[in-house]
Structure 1
């Protein structure tokens, strides 16, 4: 017997304020019906005076006086299957491409499971992205969460698409889950064309949420994508890379929903619980003992006003293990990808790179830092007034940006190719200035 309840008090955007009902659980899936229109929802808050239901879909057409709600008794679940690889899905896991229906193998709650940190393996295996500024100087490690901090006007769409096309873990059984959050239609069209034409789309799943969808869908989509990624990683043994783009849109959706709930705002109007909410997303990554697969995350976010101290990048930096920083100045020079390696960091690089790779990286970093100082000096006194040492570093900096950082948006470099470019660049500097390399490194690569 199906039991439906009346008692709607207020409808505010995608939020329905309802009279409390006994034995209803937080996060429970509900079915809302009004004058022939049926949408799903979930219980978002419970108190003695009111129950808050988030409408998962378009609220238009719902008549407050004629709303009936059915409580399913179950948490919101996502149907999962390996057949979802190579498909484009919405926030509910429903296909939006022309591939037909998907037969689900099982259903999983989108909230995920809490994993005991003591049961996690320490990330240590190198993952090749094909992008020199990452593979050479900010190594991504299997099981890591390494965000990309972008700025308005940077080629973020191109970089996101290139990562999805190129990145593959070392395990032959690998997959990529791409969650596009609050994306504009023209950006979504570019991303889909670029990703689907990459040749690896059969092992890629896209969860797509457009900017004109309700804010709650953006919150739901991220968790749906991670639920599917966890299924592939920890139940099917895949090494999964999850790319989340753009997490700024997610946080803005979280702020909008919080405002509609009439919650007290915190920094910049974002809810005070945004840190724990982001942690509930970013911590769904890692390698579990006794499991064959792994889950690696690359969240991509656009820093509002280019401010790295803004709450979104600030909190993201606390939770994750480093950051890849894009710079508008490099973009204006025509350099793609516009990655500024100096503020970029991978905290787990030492565990995914060889000892020689680490020495090579340290020497490259030090040389480029001196090159940036030489650039500032040249802007003040002119290049002609500089000494030979400063001119050498100035030449190194220009070559480093044009030959190492810059590469085509369809150019996939191996790690050996990346290291070879770096060794060639170090030949531009006097041998005696290379203090971070060992004598055997110099004799093998710089004096041959």
Structure 2
């Protein structure tokens, strides 16, 4: 973190939760970066949340524990929080504020950029296109991730969403084009943080990864800065360095809870479930920083991961995220109970931009038809499963029994894979064909005859 030297004030009136209130100020602006000097202690950092005449409210990123109103000085920089940007971030492990925790020197860059980012001119936005290959069959086949897309992962509590997030970060690629990953973990336990570092070590050593880790015992307020630091680093790597950058943000529910904590400390009127009324616009200010820009190299793709408290899809965080983003990958306990990893429910999952990243010239010419037919077959299989629970398997027709076979084959051969297994797209689609060809040809009405002839498959 950096900030220019500015004016220092010692007129601290009140400490309230993570907030510090000063009076008798002049020339201080909203969103200004501040350094906070403790009597005999280390420097802390903050941002101005609110200014009213000669009063200012400063959010202390490291928390206000151990601070005393009469022994604290606040130095304002005259500008918003800036960080150095450039390829020097690649291969580094930092805390949620961007300070190294890997034993290396501070991160340096030729230029600095505000963590609040710059708005992208809508006229210059290019539509998302071309796939990001995750190496995870159930995602690549049915909910293809597209460069420039924002595609969240919704998880019920207790499911391996962190394992999935790290696997996506470890395996993803852009088909041989320059590619980098920025992984931002928020509210992680120390065990989870160690798991993430171990899982992503190879990508970090290769100079393709930026890792930001905010642990559960770090100040919650730091979580508000963490995704903004990650996106600022990603934007420079993409639009200046010409890389395709994948940003994985986990867990956005922890981020929203930190936002709620600040809102409560400011005595703001709460909205749904105590979250601030501006939660939607705040999440949009993060998610909308992805995309592609006409005339500029690179792209920023965002995969936010969030847990749904009590598995409630209508909870404010997943609900509002769903309005902003372009689909979702849903992990459910029902899929977990069937067995196998990852526990993705394909019928609840969707990539609205899949047609822009899959098909002829992008993945394979049979991809979109194959995915549509497989989803239709899985939907029919679910209906048959419910019928079988009522009347028994022996009472089903032979065709319905084929659908039950397909459901089991889908989970065993396509949707289940090891946590360190990266599958190529051709392998994934070939597996999808083997699953579908368990059905009679007359049931594969969404596939062109030429494709069926090429792959065989006549079963009556």
**Same fold flag (TM > 0.5):** yes
1:432 is the counterpart of 2:442: yes
Cα 1:165–1:288 shift into 2, 3 Å = same
- Work out whether residues 203 and 209 of structure 2, in 8 Å CA contact, stay in contact via their aligned partners in 1: no
Which residue among 351, 354, 357 is the counterpart of 1:352? 357
CA distance in structure 2 between the aligned counterparts of 1:443 and 1:304, rounded to whole angstroms: 48
2: distance between equivalents of 1:320 and 1:200? 32
> How big is the shift at 1:247?
0.4
Which residue is equivalent to 2:105?
A: 100
- Higher mean alpha-carbon deviation, 304-313 vs 352-361, is at 352-361
Deviations 1:347-390 (A, max 9, x none): 00111111531111111001111111111111111111111111
Q: 241, 244, 249: which one pairs with 1:244? A: 249
- Which of 18, 31, 38 lines up with 1:34 in the alignment? 38
| Contact kept? 2:204, 2:210, Cα under 8 Å | no
User: What per-residue deviation string (whole Å, max 9, x for no partner) do you get for residues 70-98 of structure 1?
Assistant: 21112111122312111101222211002
Distance 1:436 1:200, change over 3 A: farther
Which of 3, 9, 34 is the aligned partner of 1:5? Answer: 9
* Equivalent of 2:286 in 278, 281, 284: 281
Residue 411 of structure 1: which of 407, 421, 427 is its match? 421
Q: Aligned match of 2:344 in 339, 363, 384? A: 339
Distance 1:297 1:70 in 2: 35
Match of 2:158 in 1: 153
* Alpha carbons of structure 1 residues 248 and 290: separation in structure 2 relative to 1, 3 Å: same
Matched, 1:17 2:27: no
CA deviation map 1:160-182 (0-9, x unaligned): 11111101123531100000011
Q: Which residue is 2:362 aligned to? A: none
CA gap 1:365/1:312 in 2 versus in 1, 3 angstroms: same
Residue 116 (structure 1) aligned to one of 121, 139, 147: 121
2:312 pairs with 1:307: yes
Partner Cα distance (2:201, 2:413) in 1: 28
For structure 1, list consecutive stretches of 5 or more residues without a partner in the other structure.
none
1:442 aligns with 2:452: yes
- Alpha-carbon contact 1:176-1:205 (below 8 Å) kept: yes
Contact 1:161-1:191 at 8 Å conserved across structures: yes
Aligned twin of 1:134: 139
Aligned equivalent of 2:390: 380
1:389 to 2:393 alignment? no
1:369 equivalent among 366, 379, 388: 379
Partner of 1:186: 191
Q: Is the 8 A contact 1:423 1:446 kept in 2?
A: no
Structural RMSD (CA) = 1.6
The alignment's TM-score, normalised by the length of structure 2, stands at 0.94
SS in 2 for 1:215: coil
In 2, are the aligned partners of 1:20 and 1:51 still within 8 Å (CA)? Answer: no
Shift in alpha-carbon separation, 1:2–1:303, aligned structure 2, 3 A: closer
- After superposing the two structures, state which structure 1 stretch, 383-392 or 56-65, moved more: 56-65
Counterpart CA distance in 1 for 2:350 and 2:381 is 19
Are the aligned partners of 1:233 and 1:293 in contact in 2 as well (CA < 8 Å)? Answer: yes
Q: Counterpart of 2:49 in 1: which secondary structure?
A: strand
Distance of 1:360 and 1:2 partners within structure 2: 61
**Cα deviation per residue 1:218-274 (whole Å; 9 max; x = unaligned)?**
001110010000010111111100000110100011111111111110001100000
TM-score, normalization by structure 1: 0.97
Q: 1:168 and 1:116 mapped to 2: Cα distance?
A: 27
Q: d(CA) in 2 for partners of 1:198 and 1:67?
A: 42
Q: Aligned-pair distance for 1:303?
A: 0.8
- 1:20·1:47 contact (CA, 8 Å) conserved in 2? no
Please, which runs of 5 or more residues in structure 2 have no aligned partner? 360-364
Give the secondary-structure state (helix, strand or coil) at the position aligned to 1:299.
strand
Secondary structure at the counterpart of residue 73 of structure 1: strand
Conservation of the 8 A alpha-carbon contact between 2:6 and 2:76: no
